[in-house]
Amino acid sequence: MTRLLGISGSLRAGSYNTALLHTARELLPEGVELEVATLHGIPLYDGDAEEKDGIPAAAEALKDKLAACDGLILCTPEYNHSIPGVLKNAIDWMSRPPKDKDRVFVGRPVALLGASPAGFGTVLAQNAWLPVFRTLGMRYWCGMELMVSRAHKVFDAQGKLQDEDVRELLRKHVTGFSDFVRG
């Protein structure tokens, strides 16, 4: 069984990015499972707090899930033409202490996708993630981009993906990434 971890970079209950990950879970090839994780409860990174109290429990739990999975799917919103702070903050916490970098990140396959109500989807946020992946030593899957634009028109009010073209692109994306992970 290939185990993937999906992290949505949005905390909103009605997040298009979280909905995209839940839909991805329905479209996985046989022998692949996807756990969708939350960023709730992870405080802002503070080196003084880390020194005093260590890694917060929510960040440690997410870090352990990442270390145990075969590949990571980051579903990134785009805020002000870049990476959402809450998602970058979680990655920063998971990279602490530096000795854990190899266990958690180095060599770990990672894929990007994202949804936005804007017309260009999440193109700038996805590009902004690439230096972070290089720094952490992750293996970025560049086999296919998926940037869902005008997300408010492809999801219904309950977060159900309504657009069959986007559904098929998502199926191809998760299948391609799963093949990359299984290698």
Query: What's the CATH architecture for 2-182?
Result: 3-Layer(aba) Sandwich (3.40)
Give the whole-angstrom CA distance, residue 75 versus residue 9: 6
Task: Supply the pTM of this predicted model.
Answer: 0.96
pLDDT in tens, 103-158: 999 999 999 999 999 998 999 999 999 999 999 999 999 999 999 999 999 999 99
R_g over Cα of the chain: 16
CA distances from 31 to 27, 64, 105, 169 (A): 12, 22, 23, 20
- The predicted pLDDT at position 22 comes to 98
Q: Where are the chain's structural domains?
A: 2-182
Q: Is 35 left (phi over 0), alpha (psi -120 to 50) or beta?
A: beta
Residues 6+ positions from 43 with CB-CB distance below 8 Å: 49, 56, 59
